[in-house]
């Protein structure tokens, strides 16, 4: 049962990530039927204040040794350079060896990786750090399309707010949905979000070494509403279809059709955020032949429907 929770802090503290864990596990909500957690905030040297930034620091009350027997140890985001105190890594390993769980928030996943706990496991982190996490820990199975991942005793979460999702998930798993819902209601957040990080990632146009391909991509972005075929793209580049498709992948990293679809979805996201145009009109403006086709590609790329995305990222939702 989840009763004792330790938070390991070191270096420059990511205050919001720490606050997320504190908000779920560190506040006394027993008056609302939420169990009281034994909440321990620890660092390698509790006598030394830890900097938060802007002249603010935090003083902890526990040493990391006092967190070796907790049911859950949480690691907020922080450095990604691999320079982690040995006491932190030893404590994280000890918690797992004792049958406990580990929760990482954002770049806190790098600490779990340095402790050897991500080898062979699915995991996630903030989408900006996914490639670096995979590079440092090649045995880890990094997935930055999701808000959090459970794999054995390790729960990794994406960017800051995803730490709320992961924390509530662990509460729900240990104490049931009623307790998780009470905490979520007090925090005024959804007890469960759908979708994943893909909703929050922009897709910048790649830099092309070939000026001709750079010009083609710019032209395509300006004419997304047209019926554009791969053969038509090849003709503009004065290449055969086969040569063009191969060169496109070399320059851009994906096939022409996939890139065009991704750009149409990105353009649709922008229109859904900034206009009240019906989904049918958005589909036409970005080059999809029907709203059905837009919904299909949008859900596959972003993880939610166009209307759910619009409700989430604009103040008012369209009715069609």
Task: Output the average pLDDT for the chain.
Answer: 89
Is 205 a domain residue? Answer: no
Res 30: pLDDT = 95
pLDDT the model gives residue 206: 60
> Is 87 domain-assigned?
yes
Residues 193 and 104 reside in one and the same domain: yes
Are residues 251 and 175 located together in one domain of the fold?
A: no
Q: What percent of the chain has pLDDT over 90?
A: 67
Structural domain including 120 reads 4-198
Q: Please give the DSSP secondary-structure letter assigned to residue 170.
A: H
- Judged against a pLDDT cut of 50, whether residue 319 lies above it is answered with no
| 229: confidence class by pLDDT, cuts 50, 70, 90 | very high
Q: Within this chain, do residues 35 and 137 fall inside the same structural domain, yes or no?
A: yes
DSSP string, 112-167: HHHTT-STT-EE---GGGHHHHHHH-TTSEE-TTSSEEEETTEEEE-STTHHHHHH
CA–CA distance, 315 with 297 (Å, rounded to integer)? 24
We report the CATH number of the domain holding residue 125 as 3.40.50.880
Domain boundary among 198, 222, 246: 198
Residues 174 and 288 in one domain: no
More confident residue, 271 or 317: 271
Span 4-27, pLDDT tens digits: 999 999 999 999 999 999 999 999
Q: Decide if 276 contacts 318 (C-beta within 8 A).
A: yes
DSSP state of 34: P
Please name every residue paired with 62 in a beta bridge, in sequence order, or none if there are none.
42
Q: What is the reported pLDDT for 140?
A: 97
Q: Is 242 among the domain residues? A: yes
In-domain check, residue 300:
yes
Please tell me the total number of residues recorded for the chain in this structure. 320
39: part of which helix (H) or strand (E)?
strand 38-43
55 is a domain residue: yes
Residues 63 and 108 in one domain: yes
Q: Is the pLDDT of residue 203 over 60?
A: no
**The domain that contains 240 carries what CATH number?**
1.10.10.60
Structure tokens at 119: 């080898």
What is the rounded CA–CA span in Å between residue 118 and residue 139?
7
My answer on whether 115 and 52 are in the same domain is: yes
Q: Residue 319: inside a domain, yes or no? A: no
DSSP, collapsed to helix, strand or coil, labels residue 201 as: coil
Q: State yes or no: pLDDT of 260 exceeds 90.
A: yes
Q: What is the mean pLDDT of residues 186-191?
A: 78
Q: Which of 198, 220, 236 finishes a domain?
A: 198
Measure the CA–CA gap between 74 and 81, rounded to whole angstroms.
19
Structure tokens belonging to residue 26? 């560190």
CA dist list (Å): 320 to 58, 277, 279, 317: 50, 9, 7, 9
Please determine, for residue 230, whether its predicted confidence score (pLDDT) is greater than 60: yes
- Asked whether residue 318 is assigned to any structural domain, the reply reads no
**Does 114 share its domain with 173?**
yes
Question: Which of 120-129, 193-202, 262-271 has the weakest average pLDDT?
Answer: 193-202
Query: Six-digit token pair at 265?
Result: 């979805």
Q: Are residues 156 and 245 in the same domain?
A: no
Considering the domain architecture, whether residues 152 and 217 belong to the same structural domain is answered as: no
- State whether 120 and 258 are in the same domain: no
Q: Are residues 178 and 227 in the same domain?
A: no
* Res 277: pLDDT: 94
Each residue's pLDDT tens digit, 293-318? 999 999 988 888 999 888 877 644 33
* Predicted pLDDT of residue 283: 96
Domains identified in the chain, total number: 2
Question: How much is the pLDDT for 297?
Answer: 94
Q: Identify whether residues 175 and 266 lie together within a single domain.
A: no
Q: What is the pLDDT of residues 44-81, one digit of tens each?
A: 999 999 999 889 999 999 999 999 999 999 999 888 98
Res 273 pLDDT > 60: yes
pTM over 0.85: no
pLDDT in tens, 92-134: 999 999 999 999 999 999 999 999 999 999 999 998 999 999 9
Instruction: Tell me, yes or no, whether 249 lies in a domain.
Output: yes
- What pLDDT sits at residue 181? 84
171, 198, 225 — which closes off a domain? 198
């Amino acid at each position: 049962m989840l009763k004792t929770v330790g938070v390991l802090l070191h270096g420059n503290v990511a205050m919001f990530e720490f606050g997320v864990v504190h908000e779920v596990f560190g506040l006394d909500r027993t008056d609302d039927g939420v169990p009281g957690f034994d909440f321990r905030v620890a660092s390698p040297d509790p006598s030394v204040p830890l900097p938060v930034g802007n002249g603010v620091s935090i003083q902890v009350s526990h040493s990391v040794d006092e967190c070796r027997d907790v049911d859950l140890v949480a690691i907020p985001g922080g450095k990604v350079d691999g320079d982690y105190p040995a006491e932190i890594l030893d404590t994280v390993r000890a918690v797992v060896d004792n049958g406990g769980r580990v929760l990482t928030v954002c770049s806190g996943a790098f600490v779990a990786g340095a402790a050897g706990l991500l080898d062979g496991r699915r995991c996630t982190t903030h989408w900006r750090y996914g490639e670096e996490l995979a590079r440092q820990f090649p045995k880890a199975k990094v997935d930055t399309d999701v808000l959090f991942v459970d794999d054995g005793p390790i729960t990794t979460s994406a960017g800051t707010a995803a730490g709320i999702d992961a924390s509530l998930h662990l509460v729900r798993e240990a104490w049931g949905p009623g307790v998780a819902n009470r905490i979520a209601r007090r925090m005024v957040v959804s007890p469960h979000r759908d979708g994943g990080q893909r909703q929050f990632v922009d897709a910048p146009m790649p830099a092309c070494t070939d000026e001709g391909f750079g010009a083609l991509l710019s032209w395509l972005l300006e004419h997304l509403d047209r019926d554009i075929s791969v053969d038509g793209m090849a003709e503009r580049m004065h290449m055969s279809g086969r040569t063009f498709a191969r060169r496109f992948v070399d320059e851009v990293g994906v096939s022409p059709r996939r890139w065009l679809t991704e750009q149409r979805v990105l353009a649709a996201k922008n229109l859904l955020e900034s206009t009240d145009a019906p989904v049918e009109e958005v589909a036409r403006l970005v080059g999809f032949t029907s709203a059905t086709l837009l919904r299909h590609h949008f859900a596959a790329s972003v993880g939610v429907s166009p209307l759910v995305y619009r409700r989430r990222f604009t103040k008012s939702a369209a009715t069609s």
